[in-house]
């Protein structure tokens, strides 16, 4: 684009961002321009990770974690961005979403989208880099344990992520 706008891809859909919106944060853009309110903002200063979304610089790249409250749209132009709204297929929840439900992982749920996206990125890496099961806890610690939950539901989040990850390791998915 030559008018100062940029293109991004959100949950597989190409989105044109007007020039005057390129200095919005990702969270602001999702909420105010796309009506995607699943990405939650809590601290707003890059500490709690409630606003975590997934990003890839190419569709076939591994998913990384990005904080939507501190990342402006122009900094992520042309990238592929994944929010919690993209996890389910129709009415079918992702394995992680189902796992969180079955494990009673969340209480108020405000932090849940951030946990889901951080863990989704971890599982993406786990598909690429095989690890032994005894290395899994350290991997979960690295990818997810920076996310804060004010309702302190950590144990059940970790249990659900562990269960899904173990199935993935054993199933070779």
Residue in this structure with the two tokens 């863990």, named with its chain if needed: 119
Instruction: Using only the alpha carbons of the chain, give its radius of gyration.
Output: 16
Q: Determine the interface stretch with ligand FES among 2-10, 93-101, 148-156, 162-170 (rule: CB under 6 A).
A: 148-156
C-alpha span between 97 and 88 (Å, rounded): 8
- Start-to-end C-alpha separation, the chain: 38
What are phi and psi for residue 129, nearest 5 degrees? -110, 105
- Which residues partner with 25 through β-bridges? 72
**Among residues 37, 44, 159, 168, which is the contact residue for ligand FES, using CB under 6 A?**
44
> CA–CA separation, 41 vs 51, rounded Å?
5
Report in angstroms how near the CB of residue 55 gets to ligand FES at its nearest.
14
Among 1, 7, 23, 46, interactor with ligand FES by CB under 6 A: 46
**Of 5-13, 48-56, 58-66, 133-141, which segment contacts ligand FES by CB under 6 A?**
48-56
51 belongs to the binding site for ligand FES (CB under 6 A): yes
Contact 162, 126 (CB under 8 A): no
**Where does 18-158 show beta strands of DSSP type E?**
52-56, 64-67, 80-82
Stretch that binds ligand FES, among 78-86, 94-102, 107-115, 118-126 (CB under 6 A): 107-115
Shortest reach from residue 105's CB to ligand FES, in Å: 8
C-alpha–C-alpha distance, residues 55 and 50, integer Å: 15
Binding residues for ligand FES, rule CB under 6 A, total: 22
Question: Torsion angle of alpha carbons 152, 32, 70, 99, nearest 10°?
Answer: 30
Q: Of 10, 69, 119, 136, which lies in the binding site for ligand FES, with binding defined by CB under 6 A?
A: 69
Candidates 2-10, 82-90, 103-111, 123-131: pick the segment binding ligand FES (CB under 6 A): 103-111
Closer by beta carbon to ligand FES, 70 or else 74:
70
* 155 sits near ligand FES (criterion: CB under 6 A): no
Q: Which residues bind ligand FES (CB under 6 A)?
A: 41-44, 46-51, 67, 69, 106-111, 149-151, 153
């Amino acid at each position: 684009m030559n008018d100062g706008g940029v293109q991004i891809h959100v949950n597989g859909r190409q989105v044109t961002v007007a020039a005057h919106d390129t200095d919005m944060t990702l969270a602001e853009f999702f909420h105010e321009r796309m009506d995607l309110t699943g990405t939650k903002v809590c601290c707003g200063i890059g500490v709690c990770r409630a606003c975590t979304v997934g990003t890839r610089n190419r569709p076939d790249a591994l998913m990384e974690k990005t904080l939507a409250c501190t990342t402006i749209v122009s900094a992520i132009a042309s990238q592929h961005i994944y929010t919690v709204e993209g996890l389910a297929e129709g009415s079918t929840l992702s394995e992680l979403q189902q796992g969180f439900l079955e494990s009673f992982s969340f209480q108020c749920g405000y932090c849940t989208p951030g946990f889901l996206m951080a863990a989704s990125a971890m599982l993406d890496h786990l598909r690429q880099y095989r690890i032994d099961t005894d290395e899994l806890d350290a991997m979960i610690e690295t990818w997810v344990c920076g996310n804060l939950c004010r309702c302190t539901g950590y144990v059940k989040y970790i249990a659900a992520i562990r269960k899904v990850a173990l199935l993935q390791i054993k199933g070779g998915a």
